[in-house]
A and B are shown apart, each in its own frame.
Chain A
Amino acid sequence: MASSDPNKLMAKADKLTKLSLTRWSADWKSATQLYEQAAIGYRVAKNHENAKIAFEKASKGQEMLSSPWDAAKHMESAAALAKEVGNWTEVADFYKRASELYMVCGRPQPASDALAKGARALEDAVPDEAIQLYTDACSILEEDDKEQMAFDLYRAATCVYIKLEKYTDAATFLLRWGLAADKCSATNSQCKAYLSAIIVYLYAHDFKQAEKCYNDCSQIDVFLRNDHGRCASKLLSAYSEGDIEEIKRLGQSSTISNLDHVIIRLARKLPTGEVCALKTEAAEEQEEPLDENDLT
Chain B
Amino acid sequence: MSVIDILTRVDAICKKYDKYDVEKQKDVNVAGDDAFARLYAAVEADLESALQKAESASKEKNKASAVAMNAEVRRTKARLLEEVPKLQRLAVKKVKGLSGEELAARNDLVLALPDRIQAIPDGSAPAAKQSGGWAASASRTEIKFDSDGRFDDEYFQQTEESSGFRQEFEMRKIKQDQGLDMISEGLDTLKNMASDMNEELDRQVPLMDEIDTKVDKAAADLKNTNVRLKDTVNQLRSSRNFCIDIILLCIILGIAAYLYNVLKK
Contacts and interface: CB of A to CB of B under 8 A. Distances in A.
Interface in A189-220: 189
A146 B203 CA distance: 9
A186 interface: yes
Q: Do most interface residues of chain A lie in helix, strand or loop, or is the interface mixed? A: helix
B199 interface: yes
A148 B202 contact: yes
Contacts of A255: 188
Interface residues of B, number: 11
Contacts of B192: 188, 254, 258
Interface string B199-237: 100110010000000000000000000000000000000
Interface string A167-199: 000000000000000001010110000000000
Contacts of B188: 254-255, 258
Nearest to B186: A254
A149 interface: yes
A254 B184 CA distance: 10
A186 B206 CA distance: 15
A254 B199 contact: no
Nearest to B194: A188
Contacts of B203: 148-149, 151
B189 A186 contact: no
Interface string A242-256: 000000000000110
Contacts of A148: 199, 202-203, 206
A81 B177 CA distance: 59
B48 interface: no
Interface in A108-153: 146, 148-149, 151
Nearest to A189: B199
B185 A254 contact: yes
Q: What is the interface residue range for chain A against chain B? A: 10 to 19
Interface in A43-102: none
A188 B198 contact: yes
Nearest to A147: B203
Nearest to A259: B192
B170 interface: no
Nearest to A152: B203
B196 interface: yes
Contacts of A186: 199, 202
B184 to A, nearest CB: 9
B99 interface: no
B2 interface: no
Contacts of B202: 148, 184, 186
Interface string B124-166: 0000000000000000000000000000000000000000000
Nearest to B205: A148
Contacts of B206: 146, 148
B185 A188 contact: no
A210 to B, nearest CB: 23
Nearest to B200: A148
A151 B204 CA distance: 13
B195 interface: yes
B189 A258 contact: yes
A93 B179 CA distance: 58
A258 B203 CA distance: 19
Given A148-B202, A148-B203, A188 B196 contact: yes
A191 to B, nearest CB: 9
Contact of B199 (A146, A188, A258): A188
What 3 pairs across the A-B complex have the smallest Cβ distances?
A: A254-B188, A258-B192, A188-B195
Given A254-B188, A258-B192, 6 more contacts: A148-B202, A148-B203, A151-B203, A186-B199, A188-B195, A188-B198
17 contacts: A146-B206, A148-B199, A148-B202, A148-B203, A148-B206, A149-B203, A151-B203, A184-B202, A186-B199, A186-B202, A188-B192, A188-B195, A188-B199, A254-B188, A254-B192, A258-B189, A258-B192
